Amino acid sequence: MVSVAFNKDTDEAFFSFHPDWPESELSMVVLAAKVKFGSLYFYSAVDQYPRHFLDSIQEVNNVIAIDPRETPFNAMSTIFTRFRPDIALYDLVSKRETLFDFYAFR
């Protein structure tokens, strides 16, 4: 688990996750964010930097599940994830921060 705080609308975080199990046991990878305050969106890519959320694997309800049968993924792969605050106009005026915990597991 990693705890993160965003204080500005331009803040972002970048994490990588490399599964440590053999290819014969390859199973689904779950990336989850427990948002404590504010709003968040994040997206991932396998073996590359996720440049834009439209061409990446997107979160749904703060969870991404990557199935190795549906995504080009193997035991040597690394999953890269990029986090950004989901800012609305009132967040900019009030200078509200975004707080969340990030989890990666299988």
Residue 73 is part of a domain; what is its CATH number?
2.60.120.680
| CA 59 – CA 39 distance, rounded (Å) | 13
Q: What is the rounded radius of gyration, in angstroms, for the C-alpha atoms of the chain?
A: 15
Encoding tokens for residue 5?
């705080």
pTM: 0.75
pLDDT, tens only, 70-84: 776 766 788 888 888
**Per-residue confidence at 91, pLDDT binned at 50, 70, 90?**
low
User: How many structural domains is the chain composed of?
Assistant: 1
**SS3 sequence, 32-97?**
EEEEEECCEEEEEEECCCCCCHHHCEECECCEEEECCCCCCCCCCCCEEEEEEECCCHHHHHHCCC
Domain span at residue 53 reads 2-105
